[in-house]
């Protein structure tokens, strides 16, 4: 459901009851008038002997669009479900404003949190019309029937489905069903909306269209958003702030630009997209936190991540694909660019141009190197590598 109604524990069957906790529960029972700061403080969660969340710290400001990015099994969905109240936590606290929603002793029921959720599989009731699916979250005291009808009609118009109100989910396409799910999440003006990989089951063209609609409608509504995905392109396009999860640990929290330009760890660099990796040795330190690195294929300039200090000369250089430029071997060189010799292994047409696989003279391969013109397989080329394409870490 969009407005969460399931829970593992209700207010009445909390494991511990005390006057202090009763005050917390009464405060949580009243919907907050405006989005509150969400504080996730040292949260831990385990299933049997497997620790899924390991000391998570994250603050979500009112109206902020926060994306949790990480591979399958990193703990994204578990953290989302803890915030929504569908899972208990073992240690730590989750607070909405001053109200504790989760702790080792307190667990506020999902329906008391003024939180909506959009699922990957749409989660629409097949026996209800589109109108009734969206209206369900407004079936509560204090919402008059005519007020409910106006709200549902307005939100269906905003997502382009006003003409489909009387139809049933099975008659709609996947993209239309996800719009219904989004409308249902927005109609109650929740303080927070949770998105559980809502675009992953859709075709590529639908993902792009719905990504824009999600960004536009949620920001217009002013709700805070926690959105999980394993797609770094999606994360960069949507987020105000990205938190990167790996094996239950939040390894970096920053803006999309900071994550891309200054990844905190090799894992973050890899997961946010690199053309390839080059082992090398630092031969010179340059002003501004940069180094000159000699690799098997030549010499490159690289930024050193702010979060990492190099302990010796041995480094691994992560190369981003976007800034790279392919030229003929005898093309004029820019002074601020390194040059690596190589040959084209493969080229793939991508509509706006071509992505190439380049094998350097040292044997390493760089993937996804873009050029508007197609370079022939086995053709010798020169790869121009600006300093902002490379990030150096101490070699693992």
Q: 309-357: per-residue pLDDT in tens?
A: 677 789 999 999 999 999 998 877 666 678 899 999 999 999 999 999 9
Phi, psi angles (nearest 5°) of residue 358: -115, 125
Topology adopted by domain 274-394: OB fold (Dihydrolipoamide Acetyltransferase, E2P) (2.40.50)
Q: What does the block give as tokens for 250?
A: 């939040």
Query: In which residue ranges of the chain is CATH 2.40.50 found?
Result: 274-394
- Backbone φ, ψ for residue 375 (5° rounding): -100, 135
Reading across the β-sheet that carries 115-118, which strands appear in turn? 115-118, 192-196, 224-229, 65-69, 241-246, 249-254
Inform me whether the pLDDT recorded for 283 exceeds 50. yes
* Other CB atoms within 10 Å distance of the CB of residue 348: 10
> Six-digit token pair at 265?
């760890």
Report the candidate in 228, 274, 295 with the shortest Cα–Cα distance to residue 80: 228
Q: How far is CA 144 from the centre of its chain?
A: 37
CATH class of 11-261: alpha beta
Q: Which pTM was predicted?
A: 0.84
Cβ neighbors of 132 (< 8 A, separation 6 or more) are 125
**In 3-state terms, what secondary structure has residue 388?**
helix
pLDDT band for 207, please (50, 70, 90 cuts): confident
pLDDT tens-digit readout, 216-228: 999 988 889 999 9
Portions of the chain given CATH number 3.40.50.300: 11-261
CA 198 from chain centre, in angstroms, equals 11
For residue 340, the SS3 value is: strand
Q: CA-to-CA distance for 201 and 103, rounded, in angstroms? A: 33
User: Does 231 score more than 90 pLDDT?
Assistant: yes
């Amino acid at each position: 459901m969009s407005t969460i109604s399931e829970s593992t524990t209700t207010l009445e069957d909390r494991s511990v009851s005390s006057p202090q906790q009763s005050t917390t529960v009464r405060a949580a029972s009243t919907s907050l008038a405006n989005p509150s700061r969400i504080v996730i403080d040292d949260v831990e969660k385990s299933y049997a002997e497997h620790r899924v969340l390991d000391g998570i710290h994250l603050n979500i400001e009112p109206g902020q669009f926060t994306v949790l990015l990480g591979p399958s099994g990193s703990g994204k969905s578990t953290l989302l479900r803890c915030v929504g109240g569908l899972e208990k936590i073992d240690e730590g606290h989750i607070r909405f404003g001053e109200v504790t929603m989760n702790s080792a002793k307190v667990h506020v029921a999902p329906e008391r949190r003024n939180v909506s959720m959009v699922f990957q599989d749409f989660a629409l009731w097949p026996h209800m019309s589109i109108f009734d699916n969206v209206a369900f979250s407004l079936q509560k005291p204090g919402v008059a029937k005519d007020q409910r009808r106006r709200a549902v009609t307005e939100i269906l118009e905003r997502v382009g489905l006003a003409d489909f109100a009387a139809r049933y989910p099975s008659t709609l396409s996947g993209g239309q069903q996800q719009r219904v799910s989004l409308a249902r999440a927005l109609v109650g003006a929740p303080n927070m909306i949770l998105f559980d990989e809502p675009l992953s089951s859709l075709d590529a063209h639908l993902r792009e269209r719905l990504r824009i609609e999600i960004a536009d409608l949620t920001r217009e509504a002013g709700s805070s958003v926690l959105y999980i995905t394993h797609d770094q392109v999606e994360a960069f396009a949507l987020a105000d702030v990205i938190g990167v999860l790996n094996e239950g640990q939040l390894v970096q929290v920053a803006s999309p630009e900071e994550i891309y330009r200054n990844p905190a760890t090799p894992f973050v660099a890899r997961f946010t997209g690199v053309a390839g990796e080059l082992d090398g040795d630092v031969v010179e330190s340059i002003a501004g936190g940069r180094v000159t690195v000699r690799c098997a294929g030549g010499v490159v300039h690289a930024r050193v991540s702010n979060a990492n200090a190099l302990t010796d000369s041995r480094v691994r250089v992560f190369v981003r694909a976007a800034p790279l430029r392919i030229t003929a071997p005898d093309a004029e060189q820019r002074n601020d660019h390194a040059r690596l010799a190589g040959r084209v292994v493969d080229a793939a047409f991508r509509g706006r141009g071509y992505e190439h696989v380049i094998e350097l003279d040292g044997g390493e391969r760089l993937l996804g190197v873009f050029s508007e013109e197609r370079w022939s397989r086995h053709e010798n080329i020169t790869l121009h590598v600006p300093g902002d394409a490379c990030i150096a870490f101490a070699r693992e």
